[in-house]
Structures are given as C-alpha cells and as structure tokens.
Structure 1
Amino acid sequence: MKQKNHALGLAIAEAIERIASTIVAACILGGVIAHQIQLAYAVLGGGIATVVVLVAVVLRVRINQSIDAAKEADGQ
C-alpha cells in the first residue's frame, strides 16, 4: 500500500512539474510577444509557476526520502 501511495505521489509531483513548466513557457512566450503592460502579467505568472515548480521538487524529494526510509525499514 505504501508503494502505491509513493508511486501516486511521484506521479502527482511530476504532473505538477509539467504543468508548471508549460505555464512558464507560456509566460515567456507571452512576454516576448506582448506589450509592456502584459509583460508584467507574464512576469507575475512566471513567478507563480516558479513557486509551483519548487513546491513540486520539494514534494518529490520528500517522497523519495520516504521511499528510501521504507526500503531501509523493510531491510531491502
């Protein structure tokens, strides 16, 4: 059961990273194409997406640590 939870957590973390990466790319593209006023919105969106990516990375690291701890507890 723990392995299913870990796999689900990793899948969620990876999905969050991919979504955030798409948002960052869209913000960069929008910033390149847009006028200066819209550039501010692109920067704001990019900042929010960066925070989401950092949270996803921290989540992934914690899940990996939990998997390692579970393996050590099982004696693998």
Structure 2
Amino acid sequence: IEHNDVDIVAVNDPFIEPHYAAYMLKYDSTHGQFKGEIKVDGNDLTVNGKTIRFHMEKDPANIPWSETGAYYVVESTGVFTTT
C-alpha cells in the first residue's frame, strides 16, 4: 500500500465484507494500527486516496479483472491448491 511502484486496484475475499476488510487493515494484529486513511464506499475501499475495488466472489473467474486495470492477479488464499 505504501509502495509507489505497485498499485492495488482490486481485492477479492469471498468470506468478508468491505467494511470488515477496512477494519482489519486499520487494526492489523501483526503490523499494528495503519496510520493512513481508509474509507468504504459501497464495494470500494479508498486507502490514502487510492480506490480499490472490493469483490466477494467465490469463483474469481467471475470477476472482470480487465475492467479493474489489473495487469497481474495474485491468488494467495490457498483455496485453489490441490494435493
């Protein structure tokens, strides 16, 4: 969030709503309290003036990633791992 060379344009978490994501970012149990500004507007998070589209899709294929301006998508939930 604090690096100018990377823009976070969208987030997907099918298990929480945007207001709770904002709360968890603001009061992170590992990194401590976030010193910046966080707002929620519908399904958008605004962090330090940058808008991040928040999705709650169980199937990430349903997300119009190209409409978000994303060049790369990182899947880091572990939900789609296989054995």
Q: Tell me which protein shows more helix as a share of its residues.
A: 1
Q: What TM-score results when the alignment is normalised by the length of structure 1? A: 0.24
Structure number, greater radius of gyration:
1
Task: Point out the structure with the larger strand share.
Answer: 2
